[in-house]
Structure 1
Amino acid sequence: MKKLKVGFICVHNSCRSQMAEALGRLLAGEVFESYSAGTHVKPAINPDAVRIIKEHYGVDMRAKQHSKLLSDIPALDIVITMGCNVDCPMLPCRHREDWGLEDPSGQSDEVFLATAKQIEDNIQRLARRIGAGKFTGF
């Protein structure tokens, strides 16, 4: 069975969606392919997000990731919006959900860690749902 393509979408594709892409690859790479993108881009991934993910998960996001527009990623099976509090454009997909995460940018390491942990938990639940066949017919 081919792996589903999951896209983590946020406005600037510089923090939460990038963290989700990195953790998706790390924690669920055998279950689904992870991508991230935004409606706008920043020149670099949030340095606090890069540092927290590297320190706590051993993943260097700068090595394989960069800020991308929606048009820079392939067609997706599942779209996960991160909770941007804006209307995300309609992306063709077979399933969509919003994780409702607050942007930790400019906040303490504890807030970044809490956001990373919530993303980790959400990814593990998503991987279990995919593995259990909750998205049949894709």
Structure 2
Amino acid sequence: MSGKPKVAFVCVHNSCRSQIAEALGRLLASDTFESYSAGTETKPAINPDAVRLVKARYGVDMAATQRSKLLEELPPVDIVITMGCNVQCPVLSCTRREDWGLPDPTGQDDGAFTAVIDEIERRVLRLRAELRAAD
């Protein structure tokens, strides 16, 4: 693959977990891969709790830099990572596919969001390390 691999983080609504993964991928691994996110449906806005907590922790304002997008808006990607949608995830052409199986923290307290954000950060850093080692 020429250039940096393109990674798509996919969830049903593209409003919480996949948006967090896109933001952290851009922040923590942009030297290794390009991050995108999308869903089979969209929401009018990114989850406000996710926006607030990511902004407080990382200084990234997802509401200003990202929006909920449909799968059709993605460029061709190399890696597809589903967040754990508990629905039939769409088939996108790619060379690698993973399901991170993360719980949706929507409607829960900050602790639930923080646990998911922590896990996404760990997995983004692990993906970065794996891709660097394979290069």
TM-score where L is the length of structure 1: 0.95
Which residue matches 2:91? 90
Which residue matches 1:123? 124
1:40 aligns with 2:41: yes
* One-letter identity of the residue aligned with 1:25: R
TM-superposed CA distance for 1:132, in Å, is: 0.3
Which residue matches 1:105? 106
TM-superposed CA distance for 1:98, in Å, is: 0.2
* One-letter identity of the residue aligned with 2:48: P
* One-letter identity of the residue aligned with 1:52: L
Per-residue CA distance 1:78-128 (angstroms, 9 max, x = gap):
000000111111100000000000000000101101100000000000000
SS at match of 1:6: strand
* One-letter identity of the residue aligned with 2:16: C
SS at match of 1:132: helix
Gaps of 5+ in 1: none
Which residue matches 1:7? 8
Gaps of 5+ in 2: none
| Counterpart-to-counterpart distance in 1, 2:122 and 2:10 | 17
Which residue matches 1:18? 19
SS at match of 1:112: helix
* One-letter identity of the residue aligned with 1:27: L
SS at match of 1:92: coil
Root mean square deviation of aligned Cα: 0.8
Identical positions, percent: 63
TM-score where L is the length of structure 2: 0.97
TM-superposed CA distance for 1:24, in Å, is: 0.4
